[in-house]
Amino acid sequence: MKKYSFWNNKGGTGKTSLAFQAIAMYAEANPNEQILVVDLCPQANLSELLLGGLIGQGSTNLNKLHDQSIRRSIGGYFQFRLPSPYTTTNINPWDYICQPFQVNPYISPNIYLVAGDALVELQSNAITTLANTQIPGTNTWLCVIDWLNDFVNRAYQDFSCLFVDANPSFSVYTQIALAATEEMILPVMADDSSRRAVQNAIALVQGINLPSNIYEQHNFASQLRAAGRVPPRFHLFPKNRLTQYMGPASAYHAVLTSIDQMIQYLIVTHPTVVTFSKLNDAVVEIRDFQTTGVVAFAQGLPFTQMHQGVYKMPEQTVYIRSEYLENCIRSMDGLMLKL
């Protein structure tokens, strides 16, 4: 099973919108693969997109999943784990999995979803306490960090690919998300906060260039490695929302060049934490989706399911031109083909 996470510890990089389009297009290009999507961001934006977007009642459809007798979401699964956090008995993944195609016909039927849930924010303190509990002979941290791994392992026979959308924080539920994946997609933008976010991600996920030796034994990466596990490797750094104003003479270009230098540093000094050996394999340029993206996300539409013409939006109509749509598809193809 291929296992990817979309993550950046900086919000606003377009992580979820890229995940939505990439997953939808990957599923269309690989119809014989069964794809499991886990939304471990409490905002549940990816879930709402897959379930119909604003206009397609994505929020209403999400609430219906939360209101079922067994809460059909990642929060429902965590709720099931809380009373017995260190054992894996009686996990039935299909109690928590839905098929977005049933409410959004523009989503491929080979996509299955464990929906996001704001409930995980309320559960976070309890989960952290359980992870830090001292029980002789039990690695309680690893037992809790493996909650999603336990889930995926039970569903392993049914799926060939896993995508996880993780919250920008590095809270315990984000670590649960990342620990279940093998390769990370980390979108960046042409701003200085994205440059710092890449630095932070390298330290948080792989334990490289930590600010002090006191963190050496107690960070996410070292705890996983002590248990014989491997943190997710960096697979792709999409440069998102690029515009024609980001030429070689601009400050934006300087920031992106700085990010390239960080990636090159990893290739040279820590080749085992990346999946690539050349910088060109690590990056893909994504042009700003502009109005086409606004329409796609409002209606829960993959770009490949759109066409030139008029789309109804709240209180207005919008005309999508074919050349803009083709540019969006071409950008996402560049990302999708590197999965």
Run of H or E including 286:
strand 283-287
Q: What are the pLDDT tens digits along the chain (339 aa)? A: 999 999 998 888 889 999 999 999 999 999 999 999 999 999 999 999 999 999 999 999 999 999 999 999 999 999 999 999 999 888 999 999 999 999 999 999 999 999 999 999 999 999 999 999 999 999 999 999 999 999 999 998 999 999 999 999 999 999 999 999 999 999 998 888 888 999 999 999 999 988 777 677 779 999 999 999 999 999 999 999 887 545 544 667 888 899 999 999 999 999 999 999 999 999 999 989 999 999 999 999 999 999 999 998 988 899 999 999 999 999 999 999 999
The domain total for the chain is 1
Enter the pTM of the model: 0.95
Instruction: Number of helices (H) and strands (E) in the chain: give both, helices first.
Output: 14, 9
Joined together, the tokens standing for residue 103 give 């409410």
pLDDT of residue 246: 55
**Cα atoms found within 13 Å of the Cα of residue 124, Cβ hemisphere only:** 17
Question: Mind giving me the DSSP string for 90-147?
Answer: T--GGGT-B-GGGT-TTS-TTEEEE---THHHHHHHHHHHHHH--BTTB-HHHHHHTH
Position 89 scores a pLDDT of: 82
C-alpha span between 189 and 45 (Å, rounded):
19
Helix axes 290-299, 322-336, angle to 10 degrees: 80
What is the pLDDT at residue 193? 87
Of 69, 41, 225, 310, residue with least CA distance to 80: 69
Q: What range does the domain containing 147 cover?
A: 2-336
**Contact between residue 188 and residue 11 where contact means Cβ atoms under 8 Å apart:** no
pLDDT of residue 216: 73
Q: What is the pLDDT at residue 247?
A: 53
The pLDDT value recorded for residue 250 is 64
pLDDT at 251: 66
Picking from 144, 153, 202, 207, the residue whose alpha carbon sits closest to that of residue 172 is 144
| CATH, residue 235 | 3.40.50.300
